[in-house]
């Protein structure tokens, strides 16, 4: 539209229109116009009138597009705001759903082990630097009923033990560490040993059930659970599953490699067992 108004063609049309209007004004002022002269003028002016109407229609169309574009822009902005609100609501819903699922898991622990006293679920807030065994920090401490040597679990199984504790934070050492010892075994075969970490098994993310009899009847896939001895861990909590049976190099005992029931490399929340049946044995020996 802007290019047309600046063109030579547009200037010629405007000049002719101005000339015709001047002639018409002159004729009226002299009183000498006739019906025929008016007809001639109309004949001459007809093409220019058509062109003028076309230009007017184009201008009207362009203006209408501008008005509609402004309305579309406002509607688009309103829709974007609604979409943003819906996305925020969806994010809140997903977060709430995940939290409810996690809480449901920890409620399941209590339902299976009615003698347990559990803390609220804690977040895993970071891993201990330079510790190959995956020790990590949680956002709970003595102010949250967390105490030293308390067992740490998820619904899937045993995770480890509290080895350092402050008012609002604590360090959890996992069962992959050689510094952790858990009395465990098979509840069906009544074979027991000590679950502990091993440098040789760390690469596989496994630990071992040590001090088994050479004639052990444990087999691959069998569940290993805590025995509750010494009062440091509750009785009957799943630790992991037997992968292989190996003979000790000295030839006196055997051991089983254990796949932990919990994926220790992918933890987001854990719970601490602050009290359980049999814990009084540990308390008495302090």
Q: Determine the pLDDT at residue 17.
A: 64
Q: How many percent of the chain have pLDDT more than 70?
A: 68
Whether 258 contacts 209, CB under 8 Å? yes
| N-to-C CA span, the chain | 94
Q: Determine the pLDDT at residue 36.
A: 47
pLDDT at residue 180 is higher than 80: yes
Confidence of residue 22 (pLDDT cuts 50, 70, 90): low
pLDDT tens digits along 116-138 = 999 999 999 999 999 999 999 99
pLDDT tens digits along 137-148 = 999 999 999 999
Q: Determine the pLDDT at residue 208.
A: 96
Q: What angle do CA 94, 100, 103 make, to 5 degrees?
A: 145
The pTM (predicted TM-score) of the whole model is: 0.66
Buried b (16+ CB within 10 A) or exposed e, 219-257: eeebebbbbbbebbbbbebbbbbbbebeeeeeeeebbbb
User: What is the CATH number that goes with domain 117-285?
Assistant: 2.40.10.350
Mean pLDDT of all residues belonging to the chain: 81
Q: Is pLDDT larger for residue 194 or for residue 65?
A: 194
pLDDT at residue 33 is higher than 50: no
Name which of 238, 81, 48, 256 is nearest 159 in CA terms: 238
Averaged pLDDT for residues 61-71: 63
Averaged pLDDT for residues 239-267: 93
Name which of 237, 233, 279 is nearest 262 in CA terms: 237
pLDDT tens digits along 202-217 = 999 999 999 999 999 9
């Amino acid at each position: 539209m802007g290019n047309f108004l600046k063109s030579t063609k547009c200037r010629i049309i405007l000049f002719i229109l101005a000339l015709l209007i001047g002639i018409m004004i002159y004729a009226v002022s002299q009183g000498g116009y006739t019906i025929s002269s008016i007809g001639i003028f109309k004949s001459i002016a007809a093409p220019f009138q058509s062109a003028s109407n076309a230009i007017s229609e184009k201008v009207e169309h362009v203006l209408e597009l501008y008005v509609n574009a402004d309305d579309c822009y406002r509607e688009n902005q309103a829709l974007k705001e609604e979409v943003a609100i819906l996305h925020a609501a969806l994010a809140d819903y997903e977060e709430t759903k995940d939290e409810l699922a996690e809480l449901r898991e920890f409620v399941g622990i209590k339902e299976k082990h009615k003698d347990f006293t559990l803390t609220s679920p804690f977040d895993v807030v970071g891993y201990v630097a330079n510790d190959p065994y995956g020790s990590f920090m949680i956002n709970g401490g003595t102010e949250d009923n967390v105490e030293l040597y308390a067992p740490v679990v998820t619904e899937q199984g045993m995770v480890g033990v509290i080895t350092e504790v402050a008012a609002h934070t604590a360090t959890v050492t996992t069962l992959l560490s050689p510094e952790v010892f858990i009395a465990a075994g098979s509840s069906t075969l009544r074979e027991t040993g000590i679950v502990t970490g091993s440098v040789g098994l760390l690469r596989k993310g496994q630990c071992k059930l040590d001090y088994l009899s050479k004639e052990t009847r444990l087999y691959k896939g069998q569940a290993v659970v805590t025995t509750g001895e010494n009062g440091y861990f509750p009785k009957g909590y799943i630790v992991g599953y037997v992968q292989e049976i190996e003979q000790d190099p000295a030839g006196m005992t055997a051991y089983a490699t254990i796949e932990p029931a919990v994926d220790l490399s992918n933890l987001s929340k854990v719970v601490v067992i602050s009290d359980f049946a049999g814990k009084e044995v540990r308390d008495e020996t302090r």
